[in-house]
Amino acid sequence: MMLAGLMQQVPLTLNLVRERVGDLYPNKTVTTRFHDRIHVIGYAAMLDRAGQLANYLAGIGVGRGMRVATLAWNSHRHLELYLAVPCMGAVLHTINARLLAPDIARLLAHAGDQVLFVDRSIWRTIGREIVLPSAVRHVVIMEDEVDPSIDPPAPVGTPATLYEAAIAGHGSAFAWPDLDENEASGLCYTSGTTGDPKGVLYSHRSTTLHTLACLFADGIAMRERDVCLPAVPMFHANAWGFPYAALMAGAALALPCRQIDPVALVELVEVAQVTVATAVPTVWLGFLDHLGKHPQAVARIASLRRLPVGGAAIGQSFIDGFARLGIEVMHCWGMTEISPLGLTNVARSDLDTEETRSTRTAQGLPIPGCRFRNVDAEGVPCGRDGTTPGELRISSPWAAASYFAGPADQAPSADSFAVEDGRTWLKTGDIATIDRLGYVRIVDRAKDLIKSGGEWISSQALELQIMNHPDVREAAAIGRTDPKWQERPVICVVLRSDAAEPRERFAREYRDYLASFFPKWQIPDEVIFCAELPKGKTGKIDKIALRRTFGSS
Ligand code: ADP
């Protein structure tokens, strides 16, 4: 018979974060770099404003389980929403600000949002185009720019208020309710790099556990003495959980608003003395390039020590480039459906020197709390030999068990989840190997694999190798339809120099360069030189667009 433990039933809710920040770290700060000014506010004042905000929301009828949407960049006001909305029992729906107006309207309707908080700079364009669903009863405009000449229009029939006016006059004391840890805290739609966006409904429990995992020494190792710069947008899987993790740890925050170009990031790192920063690899490739061209900027980023990077694969040259600046890159893997972190690359003590180096580019080991397996087409586990690729599946307290159905639809869940061994496993859609020590290496997204003559070619492996070439800045491999082979790989390349000579040399030599790493049939038939590669809504390379342009023979 089961014997129940006798420990306290403390619900795992974001109130643990909110209360801890108030108790222990009132004097820590959040620095926001708006495009025209630096704004600094202490955590105590930020929490007071979160209380005012909760009072405002309660006053307009926002209650438990109601959805509150944001269309906003990374700022202290967005952070206030991160705390106030879930801690009052409502659900924070962070919408990708790079979407087009009709797509935003569709997500607002699907989520059943009742209030929309939107940055003024975004509203300037979206406000004229969007047809708001009737469920959205209030629009609150956040003053991320101060140009008084711009007066954004109020949508027809929906009152619009300015954020500062909305919270002014409300007290900072709010009767924060006792929440159940399984109540929903946040809603985030996948960015749809390979398909339609799907809603992931986080709970307080899942987000709190994910937050704690970010503090593990072999997780992200967020610490009180850190200053954390999430350059990944706060609408993208909760900025990978970094804002909550920083608050829980007592670390200071530096938020870049929408500016994540190298010049802006260098300035923010210097002003806030940032120690740890995160974004997708393309952002850091630009940063590295900038520092190479402006060596005098290197001294300005001397405080930066660690770079947990995920969202897309990185190669050895990326890690080495930052190591030369004294910055440690930690490769991470995650997805919106798992809050989003699942793997971090930490060097095990039982690796020898050669193994340590060769595993650095793997996506990493499961963060404690996550179980991984890779399975073949029949769903049978492939085994941990480090070479047999299979579809990666995950079971974790912070992984989704199904998608959010919205008020009317069926949740598009069926083919994304499997029940095996009495557990729900999320099918990630990534193809990976797992080695004897548990290191997971992503081979490719299933949808990006190139099928040539019945054999699979990893687009990611080609890209990473090409990007180790000193002349290459960025690369993306795609399949081009082929009458004989079904598909053949071609590679789109951005060179560091746009002069004709290196281009001609590269076109002549890339086959020989790749020949020492790949069998002949995997080498791309053609190099397509591009001035830049198209990026999707989260800054990742948009392979759908590349396939549309270059994918037909
Ligand atoms: P989207 O699928 O629309 O890009 P997500 O932001 O949730 O939305 O991305 C999750 C996907 O990003 C993963 O399934 C994986 O394909 C890719 N990914 C994330 N981190 C890495 C990484 N370190 N290496 C390779 N791929 C990665």
Substitution site in 98, 189, 193, 374 for ligand 1 pocket (most atoms within 8 Å of beta carbon): 193
What's the pLDDT score for residue 410?
A: 57
Q: What is the dihedral of CA 193, 197, 203, 204, to 10 degrees?
A: 60
HSE-up of 125 (CA within 13 Å, CB side)?
10
Question: Whose alpha carbon is nearest atom 24 of ligand 1?
Answer: 313
Q: Please give the structure tokens belonging to residue 482.
A: 């082929």
**Dihedral angle sign, alpha carbons of residues 494, 495, 498, 504:** negative
| 22-343 placed in CATH 3.30.365.10 | no
Question: Whose alpha carbon is nearest atom 27 of ligand 1?
Answer: 312
Intervals of CATH 3.30.300.30 along the chain: 449-550
Q: Quick one: which atom of ligand 1 is closest to the CA of 428?
A: 14
What's the pLDDT score for residue 425?
A: 96
Spatial contact of 79 and 102, defined as CB atoms under 8 Å apart: no
What's the pLDDT score for residue 284?
A: 94
CB-ligand 1 contact for 458 (6 Å cutoff): no
* Amino acid identity, position 68: V
Taking only the tens of pLDDT, the chain with its 553 residues reads: 899 999 999 999 999 999 999 999 999 999 999 988 999 999 999 999 999 999 999 999 999 999 999 999 999 999 999 999 999 999 999 999 988 899 899 999 999 999 999 999 999 888 888 999 999 999 999 998 876 455 556 666 677 899 999 999 999 999 999 999 999 999 999 876 656 789 999 999 999 999 999 999 999 999 999 999 999 999 999 999 999 999 999 999 999 999 999 999 999 999 999 999 999 998 999 999 999 999 999 999 999 999 999 998 999 999 999 999 999 999 999 999 999 999 999 999 999 888 888 899 999 999 999 999 999 988 899 989 999 999 999 999 999 999 998 655 555 566 899 998 899 999 999 999 999 999 999 999 988 989 887 788 899 889 989 999 989 999 999 999 988 888 999 999 999 988 889 999 999 999 999 998 888 889 999 999 999 999 887 778 999 899 999 988 7
Strand partners, 14: none
Intervals of CATH 3.40.50.12780 along the chain: 22-343
CB-ligand 1 contact for 281 (6 Å cutoff): no
> Which distant-in-sequence residues (6+ apart) come within 8 Å of 366 by Cβ?
342, 343, 372, 438, 440
The CA distance from 363 to 332, in Å, is 6
Annotated catalytic residue 161: no
The Cα-based distances of 110 to 81, 103, 106, 185 in angstroms read 21, 10, 6, 17
CA of 325 to the centre of ligand 1 (A): 27
Q: How do strand 390-395 and strand 423-434 relate by DSSP bridges?
A: antiparallel
CB-ligand 1 contact for 444 (6 Å cutoff): no
CA of 538 to the centre of ligand 1 (A): 10
- SS3 assignment, position 201: strand
The CA distance from 219 to 367, in Å, is 6
Spatial contact of 489 and 478, defined as CB atoms under 8 Å apart: yes
Annotated catalytic residue 240: no
CB-ligand 1 contact for 313 (6 Å cutoff): yes
CATH class of 370-396+411-446: mainly beta
Q: Please give the structure tokens belonging to residue 445.
A: 């997204």
Looking up tokens 């979407």 gives: 99
CA of 42 to the centre of ligand 1 (A): 34
Intervals of CATH 2.30.38.10 along the chain: 370-396+411-446
**Dihedral angle sign, alpha carbons of residues 135, 138, 139, 142:** negative
What's the pLDDT score for residue 550?
A: 92
CB-ligand 1 contact for 445 (6 Å cutoff): yes
CA of 278 to the centre of ligand 1 (A): 14
15-24 vs 43-59: helix axis angle to the nearest 10? 140
**228: buried, middle or exposed (CB in 10 Å: 19+, 13-18, 0-12)?**
buried
Spatial contact of 236 and 96, defined as CB atoms under 8 Å apart: yes
Q: How do strand 371-375 and strand 423-434 relate by DSSP bridges?
A: unpaired
15-24 vs 204-215: helix axis angle to the nearest 10? 50
Which pTM was predicted?
0.90
> Which distant-in-sequence residues (6+ apart) come within 8 Å of 66 by Cβ?
90, 91, 114
Q: How do strand 450-452 and strand 37-42 relate by DSSP bridges?
A: unpaired
CB-ligand 1 contact for 318 (6 Å cutoff): no
* Amino acid identity, position 326: G
* CA neighbor of 78 nearest in space, from 64, 91, 94, 66: 94
What's the pLDDT score for residue 142?
A: 95
Looking up tokens 């480090």 gives: 386
The CA distance from 231 to 207, in Å, is 20
DSSP state of 516: T
* CA neighbor of 541 nearest in space, from 237, 290, 280, 231: 280
CB-ligand 1 contact for 207 (6 Å cutoff): no
| H-state helical runs in 233-380 | 237-240, 242-249, 262-272, 281-293, 316-323, 353-359
Q: Which CATH superfamily is domain 449-550 in?
A: ANL, C-terminal domain (3.30.300.30)
* Amino acid identity, position 473: R
Annotated catalytic residue 520: no
